[in-house]
Amino acid sequence: MRARKLLSHTLDDAEMQELLHPQATQRCDLGRWLASQTELYAEQPQFQRLVQAHAQFHQSMSAAIARTDVDVDMQLSQCSDEVHAAFWDWLLHAPQVEPV
């Protein structure tokens, strides 16, 4: 949701600071959920791909805020697509998903 707001330039200062927080990757909903599942799934390649895609997405969000890359909007969209693809790849291959 914040990615859409970032791209439409409607983030408020508090949201911007949350995205720039050093532990933003662990503080978002997906990051908290990933952390809660790491002990169970850390060895699965699909889970590792999801964790990496999620981290890259946050890096792209930071770059978008700082506007350090001219293609940042495209990168952010690609990273979002990669997170979605990695999530579904992991979900389809996970032996059992623990509820939140």
Per-residue pLDDT tens digits for 9-34: 667 788 778 888 888 889 888 999 99
Per-residue pLDDT tens digits for 48-94: 999 999 999 888 888 877 775 567 677 777 888 888 888 888 788 87
pTM above 0.75, yes or no: no
- Long-range pairs, 93-100, Cβ under 8 A, ≥24: 93/44, 93/46, 94/41, 94/44, 94/46, 94/47, 97/37, 98/36, 98/37, 98/40, 100/33, 100/36
Split at pLDDT 50, 70, 90, the class of 37 is very high
Q: Is the pLDDT of residue 96 over 70?
A: no
Split at pLDDT 50, 70, 90, the class of 39 is very high
